[in-house]
Amino acid sequence: MVVGSVAAIGAGLAAIGAGIGIGQIGKGALEGMARQPEATNDLRTNMIVAAALVEAVALFAVVVSLLGNNLGV
């Protein structure tokens, strides 16, 4: 269980980074949408793609946490 929790800390920290990143993306996209409502659709698509890319980075971190131990098994 101790091994698992170390991975969990790593995953949690990665989640913080991803959270900040996705928050920034959402902020930027919303500001853009507010300024240019006609570009909403374009912005939304790009926002989702960018968020997925950032999320992937967080998941890289999770995978790296997995590399070292067995997910608590």
Site residues for another protein per CB under 8 A: 3-4, 6-7, 9-10, 13-14, 16-17, 20, 48-49, 52-53, 55-57, 59-73
Please say which residue, 24 or 36, places its beta carbon nearer to another protein: 24
Please say which residue, 36 or 60, places its beta carbon nearer to another protein: 60
The letter for the amino acid at 59 is: L
Residue in this structure with the two tokens 């900040």, named with its chain if needed = 20
Nearest approach, Cβ of residue 52 and another protein (Å): 5
Helix or strand run (H / E) with residue 69: none
Q: In the structure encoding, which two tokens stand for residue 57, read together?
A: 């980075």
Cβ atoms 7, 65 nearer than 8 A: yes
